[in-house]
Amino acid sequence: MPISTEYVARETVSNLWRNRLMTIAAVLTVAVSLSLVGAALLLKQGAARAEAEWQRGTEVMVWMKPTATHAEETAVGTQLRGLSYLTGCRFYNQTYDWHEAKQLVGNVYVESGVTAKQTPASWRCTPLHPADANAVIKRFAGQAGVLKATAPLKQIRTEQHVINILQWVFLLVALVLLISAAVLILNTIRMAIFARRREVSVMKLVGATNWFIRLPFMSEGMVQGLLGSGVAAAVVYGLHVLLDRIGGGTSGSVLAQMRMTGWEVFVTDVVVVAIGVLIGTGGSALAISRFLDV
């Protein structure tokens, strides 16, 4: 038996309107809970982005002995360029490094009598993953003409650790919120359906098939989920704009580093709406099934 869409649409609209208090309750529950879920997801992504941002600055450096020959320097350079996990390898000569050291350490460096001739030249590359720096260090240690290879590994590890924990915390918060949101939404829908169990029993009595009964309820749940998650999506977008505005002026701050692209926010919003629709529709189907078993 085909179920007319007109029937489903009519029942959905009239039921939503008739039970408008319940509708509002369900929509608000979805909106509030999914806003929190979306915000947690957004923060998790922000943390991931900040990590990527921090790692971009890390370099691995191969310091050449001041006595190294030009051939040795070229050999190291060729090897570094041949490694697929390194990018942007550049050579900095002794004069450059001497000036840099002077800038970093200050006049003490000059006063100690170290000349440019005594300063090591360096190859500097950016690893695709900071962890790869370790391989470089091991590989070039003790090679002809190489003084030593270094990378700010410890610093990277600490950063990574903090970011990892942050990401997990945000993910966990998002999950807990999602579960409580699902329970809250399910409960609201169940209450709404419980109030109408009489109607369901009448439908069963006159020979309605289970799908015939289920469809209007599911479409109601879908509409509630859609409305609620729409509000939640707007809240997530608003949060993004707000964070952007606060962090926008101060580049280099954590907020600026966490800044996300419009695409990421869009994907988060899509996820939020999808969850809302899924919970609304599936929740209704689940809640109604207990009253169908007569």
Partner 1 sequence: MIRFQNVSKTYKNGTVALRDVSIEIDKGEFVFLVGASGSGKTSLIRLLLREELPDSGRIWEAGRDIVHLPKWRVPYLRRNIGCVFQDYRLLPNKTVFENVAFALEVIGRPKHVVATQVPQVLELVGLAKKRDNLPSELSGGEQQRVAVARAFVNRPLILLADEPTGNLDPNTSQGIMQLLDRINRTGTTVLVATHDEVLVNWMRRRVVELDHGTVIRDQARGVYGIEGSATSGPPSGRLPIVAAAGARLRARGQEPA
- Binding residues for partner 1, rule: CB under 8 A, are 1-4, 7, 18, 198-199, 201-210, 212, 294
User: Residue 1 or 104: which CB sits closer to partner 1?
Assistant: 1
Q: Minimum distance from CB of 3 to partner 1 (Å)?
A: 7
| Burial group, residue 129, by CB count within 10 angstroms (0-12, 13-18, 19+) | exposed
User: Residue 18 or 138: which CB sits closer to partner 1?
Assistant: 18
Q: Minimum distance from CB of 199 to partner 1 (Å)?
A: 6
Q: Minimum distance from CB of 1 to partner 1 (Å)?
A: 4
- Given a contact cutoff of 8 angstroms between Cβ atoms, the answer to whether 130 and 116 are in contact is no
Cβ neighbors of 104 (< 8 A, separation 6 or more) are none
User: Residue 4 or 164: which CB sits closer to partner 1?
Assistant: 4
Q: Minimum distance from CB of 203 to partner 1 (Å)?
A: 6
Q: Minimum distance from CB of 293 to partner 1 (Å)?
A: 9
Q: Minimum distance from CB of 185 to partner 1 (Å)?
A: 24
Q: Minimum distance from CB of 280 to partner 1 (Å)?
A: 22
- How far from 154 is each of 58, 85, 157, CA to CA, in Å? 11, 20, 5
Torsion of CA 257, 261, 267, 268, to 10 degrees: 40
Q: Minimum distance from CB of 198 to partner 1 (Å)?
A: 7
User: Residue 16 or 50: which CB sits closer to partner 1?
Assistant: 16
User: Residue 201 or 251: which CB sits closer to partner 1?
Assistant: 201
User: Residue 8 or 226: which CB sits closer to partner 1?
Assistant: 8
Please write down the long-range contacts of 169-174, taking CB distance under 8 Å and 24 or more positions apart.
Answer: 170/40, 170/41, 170/43, 170/44, 170/47, 171/40, 171/44, 173/40, 174/37, 174/40, 174/41, 174/44
3-state SS assignment for residue 253? coil
* 90 phi and psi angles, rounded to 5 deg: -135, 150
What is the number of H-type helices and E-type strands within the chain? 11, 4
The side-by-side arrangement of strands in the sheet containing 60-64 is: 86-92, 122-127, 60-64, 146-150
User: Residue 4 or 95: which CB sits closer to partner 1?
Assistant: 4
User: Residue 19 or 187: which CB sits closer to partner 1?
Assistant: 19
Cβ neighbors of 170 (< 8 A, separation 6 or more) are 40, 41, 43, 44, 47
- Given a contact cutoff of 8 angstroms between Cβ atoms, the answer to whether 125 and 59 are in contact is yes
Measured CA to CA, the distance from residue 206 to residue 218 in angstroms comes to: 20
